[in-house]
A and B are shown apart, each in its own frame.
Chain A
């Protein structure tokens, strides 16, 4: 066999042919195998990539409603004042509506305020998409959903809701359609409220006090036919505004329908010549400067002339009065004498320190600048001493009175509840001794003077009335158009709260014997308010003095 092979080397044997075929087959198989493995490899790598490294897709499934949020506003006790709810906006795809009239009737049963002809027109239009209504409540949404019309759909939209409305409307404010604060606290605290995951903000307001103050002011406005009314309650030790009412008020849930007058924050935006409520400040200035003492006797029973003009007292005293009497009887003459001693420069200094020559420096934009005379001569000094010729807001005045009774320390007011981390900015204006004297004299005004109708047993009310004539259109003052105010502070033993009540153009009413002055309207209103809010407010009650304290001089 080997001999044959050697003889014919060029002839391929059967074995060689088979070997070559098998060999070629093997190569093909290997190529296929490599290709196959390569493709399997690609599939495995892709599978691993999908399985292990695919991005989280579940976030997208969370409903839209959570995306735009705005933190709630509450009062100092956690009562909800403003919150954000999801409302539903209704749209239609008219091409999928088969019977426009029937659909319109069904919608009208849920939302009666829709216009039927307009609705039918919208549903019959050949547009692909129309908005029908917005601001639907969850119940209305469910009712329309239950109709089962395929051409109707919803989108959720956040909406600001004020459950306590119309309470504290001027204090809380409102937002625009994009949920951005447009007024008052909503505007002032917009950054804090609209930040992502912002915590709720507690305002300094006490809803109960706000309500009681508002109700009594409304009753007074009604009784005395006043044009408007304002009231502010402030914690003198912390500067927190416990209540701030301006009447007429409005419903913050329907700001668009409110009149400009009702949206006006009278307490913080209206400037008035507030009258004799300035007198405690003048008395404090004179005592602070050492220009008088409480025992000094003033000849207020005689006419008093300043620069050729007689200073008028509404109810002139028939006898000379000491300083306590000047304040209690609200003598313009006595106050004028003090003002002349103080002088324009020192008077302006104290007024500036008390914050009466600039806008009230609190969070809200709603804070009017005072109207100050351009020429502040001796006559201006005299008239300003009893509250004429310097127009300030009720809020500004109560802040100044609060500083006077708070041991003479001015505390910057705030609309946000204070806690340990946010101490108030303070500055001393009067000494403790001066402040204590004014406190005693304001108490005397309520027990024995013009403020008797504001006294509430147990709360040690201090106060001062103020009746001012409004400037008339023809120049001078109009004796029939009054602004009456009462500033109060309590309790006398340890002053904690100050309040102002202001009535714009009150009229004489039954039981006031034809008088429309502050002692007959603002003072009794203040008394009624303190009677209602006193029991609710901590530290309101007058501490019973012990015998040891009584004999201490």
Chain B
């Protein structure tokens, strides 16, 4: 039987150490990848939630804008200001140009 190369004890130890280090690096990388991946997933979920929130808020803003426009519709304001406050359109005699006041 031919004997192959025989490792010295030092070499054997360094081989084991190398293997061990490789395993450790592998495990570390795996764990790091897991964390990065999980973080990315969470961030993505957050983006989705934020996007949904923006969309909801936008819809709500559109509704509020429309409501504001309905409430400030000149026809409505005219009725309210006439009924509740007794306001009427300005008569020209009651107005002056700024130059007239200043000059």
A105 lies within 8 A of chain B by Cβ: no
In Å, the complex CA distance between A81 and B67 comes to 12
Q: Do A215 and B52 touch (CB < 8 A)? A: no
Residues of A within 8 A of B59 (CB): 65, 85-86
Q: Do A164 and B48 touch (CB < 8 A)? A: no
Contact of A80 among B51, B65, B90, B103 (CB under 8 A): B65
B81 lies within 8 A of chain A by Cβ: no
Query: Ordered nearest first, which 10 A-B pairs have the shortest CB separation?
Result: A163-B69, A211-B74, A80-B69, A58-B48, A163-B70, A531-B92, A541-B97, A532-B89, A61-B48, A163-B66
A188 lies within 8 A of chain B by Cβ: no
B62 lies within 8 A of chain A by Cβ: yes
In Å, the complex CA distance between A83 and B100 comes to 42
In Å, the complex CA distance between A548 and B95 comes to 26
Contact of A66 among B48, B55, B66, B72 (CB under 8 A): B55
A196 lies within 8 A of chain B by Cβ: no
Enumerate 30 A-B pairs (CB-CB under 8 Å) in ascending A order. A51-B37, A58-B45, A58-B48, A62-B48, A62-B51, A62-B52, A65-B55, A65-B59, A66-B58, A79-B69, A81-B69, A83-B65, A83-B66, A83-B69, A85-B63, A138-B63, A163-B66, A163-B69, A166-B75, A207-B74, A211-B78, A212-B89, A458-B92, A458-B95, A459-B92, A531-B89, A534-B92, A535-B90, A543-B99, A544-B97
Cβ of B88 to closest chain A Cβ, rounded Å: 10
Q: Do B66 and A211 touch (CB < 8 A)? A: no
B91 lies within 8 A of chain A by Cβ: yes
Q: What does DSSP make chain B's interface, helix, strand, loop or mixed?
A: helix
Contact of A161 among B55, B66, B93, B97 (CB under 8 A): B66
Q: What does DSSP make chain A's interface, helix, strand, loop or mixed?
A: mixed
Q: Do B75 and A458 touch (CB < 8 A)? A: no
B33 lies within 8 A of chain A by Cβ: yes
A476 lies within 8 A of chain B by Cβ: no
Q: Do B44 and A58 touch (CB < 8 A)? A: yes
Give the residue name and chain of the A residue nearest to B1 (CB). A19
Give the residue name and chain of the A residue nearest to B98 (CB). A541
Give the residue name and chain of the B residue nearest to A52 (CB). B37
B47 lies within 8 A of chain A by Cβ: yes
B73 lies within 8 A of chain A by Cβ: yes
Q: Contacts A58-B47, A79-B72, A164-B69 known; list 14 others, CB within 8 Å.
A: A58-B51, A61-B48, A61-B51, A63-B52, A66-B55, A79-B69, A80-B69, A163-B70, A167-B73, A208-B74, A457-B92, A458-B92, A541-B97, A544-B100
In Å, the complex CA distance between A211 and B72 comes to 12
Contact of B95 among A56, A535, A544 (CB under 8 A): A535
Q: Do B66 and A85 touch (CB < 8 A)? A: yes
* Given contacts A66-B55, A80-B69, A211-B74, A56 and B62 within 8 Å (CB-CB): no
Give the residue name and chain of the B residue nearest to A165 (CB). B73
In Å, the complex CA distance between A485 and B56 comes to 51
The residues in A between 159 and 183 inclusive whose CB is less than 8 angstroms from any CB of B are 161, 163-167
A432 lies within 8 A of chain B by Cβ: no
Cβ of B98 to closest chain A Cβ, rounded Å: 9
In Å, the complex CA distance between A543 and B98 comes to 11
Give the residue name and chain of the A residue nearest to B48 (CB). A58
Give the residue name and chain of the A residue nearest to B90 (CB). A535
Give the residue name and chain of the B residue nearest to A51 (CB). B37
A194 lies within 8 A of chain B by Cβ: no
